Amino acid sequence: SMASPAAAGVAALILSYESGLEASELRSLMLDTSRRYPKLKVNLPGTETPVLFSSLSRTGTIVDALEAVKALR
């Protein structure tokens, strides 16, 4: 999946603004500012079976770089 490189890039961006963050603080910031789509249905990859988007990943969210950086202020 491309989620890992995207999340790593957002983490690097955040740390460029606030280099003193602990790993747990960085994780919390990224999770707290991520986008949630609780009712969005998408097709299960490789099928035509609809599933909730939130069921396709551990967090069920999409990292949001802008909101994370804005939350630092």
Q: What is the model's pTM?
A: 0.85
For the cut 80, the answer to whether the pLDDT of residue 1 exceeds it is no
Q: How far is 66 from 13, CA to CA, in rounded Å?
A: 10
Q: What is the C-alpha to C-alpha distance for residues 73 and 28, in angstroms, rounded to an integer?
A: 16
- Specify the higher pLDDT residue, 59 or 1: 59
Q: In the structure, what pLDDT confidence band is assigned to residue 13 with cuts at 50, 70 and 90?
A: very high
Residue 61: in which H helix or E strand, if any?
Answer: strand 61-62
What rounded mean pLDDT belongs to the chain?
A: 94
The pLDDT value given to residue 53 = 92
Q: pLDDT band for position 58 (50/70/90)?
A: confident
